[in-house]
Amino acid sequence: MDDSKTNGRQNASRIVALANTIQKSVAELQAVLDSKGLPAPSFAEDASPDPLPFEAQKAQDAVLDATAELHDILLEPTALVLKTISNEYVAFLGFISRYDIPNFVPLGGRVSFTDIAKKTGFEEGIVKRLLRAAICRRIFQEPESGYVAHTKASKAMRSKILLTFLRTGADMGWYTIFKLVDAAEKWPDVQEQDQTAFNLAHDVQGTYFENVAKSAKNAELFASGMATQWELPGYELHHLLDGYDWTGLGKAKVIDVGGFRGRISIALAERFPDLDLLVQDMEMNEADAHAAVPSALKDRVHFMSRDIFTTQPVRADVYYIRQIFHDWSDKYCTKLLRAHTSQLEAGSSVLIHDCILPEVPGSSLPLWKERDMRAMDLGLVAHMNGRERSVDEWHKLVTEADPRFKIRQISQPEGSMLALIEVVFNA
């Protein structure tokens, strides 16, 4: 049998199957929008910035994965490889964020490349080239030759939080990732946070966090990055509030380990009046943090400055830890777990709120979401030798910390990018 003919028929069947999936799933998605009286998605400046309804999520996932696969399968191999090289993102997003172009372009109007060049001090030719590269990615549009107007995406970039987050990537993040292979060659199997691609890229000593703390500008960029994540689909707080039986705890003490400025603890206190919350984080100004708590919650939300790797001094019913483990290598994550053994007793638990990587790509998540998660994984190792983990790796981690640790259950609310991993200690 001619293998080339067989492969051709298989590919033909696959592209037809993908087209059918797209047609069927788009119809399902449109039906949800129609039932709710919502407009169809659009790139237009005045299009809704809200995510699609929850009921449309499965159809959305199917369409995005099928269209991406159809696009890729129709490319020749060289083109498929080369399209993954996206260094131009760093250039045009760096320019757009550093010079606040989204807020220079008027809403509902347009501005010329000439005026943007005058504002930024750049030569007009390079302005055109940078922004036209962005326009090809649906960021801005050129409704008339020589003029720039908003799309839905560029309008969203008027947000100070998002713009600052993008500038963080342009100024620190993307340059760091380019040094990842060099760092892996220089420090194989290393677990320390001061031997990373970040150190090589910026020629600095110390950890990423230590270097961020030295600069007010970088500290602001980091805080904006944290704030941006709360706005990303799949990371919203309601997944935590609705996804765990907080009411079932009754009157309980919850410690938010590494809780930064207490946003999660405040949300828990607002929803669940029987919870008493303590936020612990390194080098915290306790008085300033507590001052920002709403007055009605001040008697139930408190703060403690503490090195989270030292022995936990406070007993609680739940030790909640959100996206802290992924910042650290296994060496330090096991140390963090062990720090709690003296306080854990029957009925208490460590509740880890973090990503779970699929064991094999495409096995348990829509691929378009998994790509983002694996990009995050590479960013973590580049900056701090952290990592995302699979289910098997989570089990291995808690057992390595102490054989008496066991994962009681793992749950992932539908639509959430984070899983709730409940760990108990059989003292």
Task: For 225-281, give the DSSP string.
Answer: HHHHHHTSTT--THHHHHHS-SGGG-SEEEEEET-TTSHHHHHHHHH-TTEEEEEEE
Report the DSSP pairing between strands 275-281 and 301-305. parallel
SS3 (DSSP) at 151: coil
Which of 150, 326, 340, 383 is labelled catalytic?
326
The pLDDT assigned to 90 comes to 86
For residue range 196-210, what is the model confidence (pLDDT) as tens digits? Answer: 999 999 999 999 999
pLDDT at 137 over 90: yes
Q: The whole model's pTM is what?
A: 0.89
C-alpha distances in angstroms, 80 versus 70, 73, 83, 136, 203? 12, 8, 5, 18, 34
Q: What is the pLDDT of residue 14?
A: 95
**Cα gap 76→265, rounded to integer Å:** 51
216: Cα within 13 Å, side-chain hemisphere: 0
Residue where the block lists tokens 């689909």: 233
The residues facing 354 across adjacent strands are 419
**326 is a catalytic site residue:** yes
Q: Which two tokens stand for residue 7?
A: 């492969």
Banded pLDDT at 1 (limits 50, 70, 90): very low
Is 368 annotated in a binding site? The answer is no
Measured between alpha carbons, how far apart are the two ends of the chain, in Å?
Answer: 64
Gap between the Cα atoms of 208 and 178, Å rounded: 16
Residue/partner pairs of 65-73 with CB below 8 Å, 24 or more apart: 65/366, 65/367, 65/368, 66/18, 66/21, 66/22, 66/25, 67/18, 67/22, 68/367, 68/368, 69/18, 69/367, 70/15, 70/18, 70/19, 70/22, 73/11, 73/14, 73/15, 73/18
| Residue 230 counted as an annotated binding residue | yes
Q: What b-and-e string marks burial along 250-259, b requiring 16 or more CB atoms within 10 Å of the CB?
A: eebbbbbbbb
pLDDT(167) > 90:
no
Q: What is the mean pLDDT of residues 268-274?
A: 98
**Residues 193/211, Cβ–Cβ less than 8 Å:** no
Instruction: Give the pLDDT of residue 9.
Output: 61
Residue found under tokens 């079932």: 248
Q: At what angle do helices 124-135 and 87-98 cross, to 10 degrees?
A: 110
Between residues 289 and 319, the one the model is more confident about: 319
Q: State the CB neighbour count (10 A cutoff) for residue 355.
A: 23
Rounded to 5°, the CA angle 413-417-419 comes to 55
Lowest mean pLDDT among 37-41, 166-170, 346-350: 166-170
- Return the SS3 of 163: helix
108: left (phi over 0), alpha (psi -120 to 50) or beta: left
Dihedral of CA atoms 55, 40, 230, 364 in degrees, nearest 10, equals: 50
Helix (H, G, I), strand (E, B) or coil at 222: helix
The number of C-alpha atoms within 13 Å of 207 and in the hemisphere containing its C-beta is 13
Determine the pLDDT at residue 11: 61
Give exposure, 340-350, as e/b (b: 16+ Cβ within 10 Å).
bbebbeeebbb
Question: Which two structure tokens, joined as six digits, stand for 413?
Answer: 């609310």
Supply the mean pLDDT for the chain.
Answer: 93
Q: How much of the chain exceeds pLDDT 90, in percent?
A: 78
Percent of the chain whose pLDDT exceeds 70 = 97
124 Cα distance to chain centroid: 35
Residue 113's CB is within 10 A of a number of other CB atoms, namely 21
Mean per-residue pLDDT, 355-383: 93
Q: 73-102: per-residue pLDDT in tens?
A: 999 999 999 888 777 888 999 999 999 999
Give residue 397's pLDDT: 98
Tens of pLDDT, residue by residue over 103-132, are: 999 999 999 999 999 999 999 999 999 999
Task: Summarize pLDDT for 18-45 with one digit per residue, the tens.
Answer: 999 999 999 999 999 999 999 999 999 9
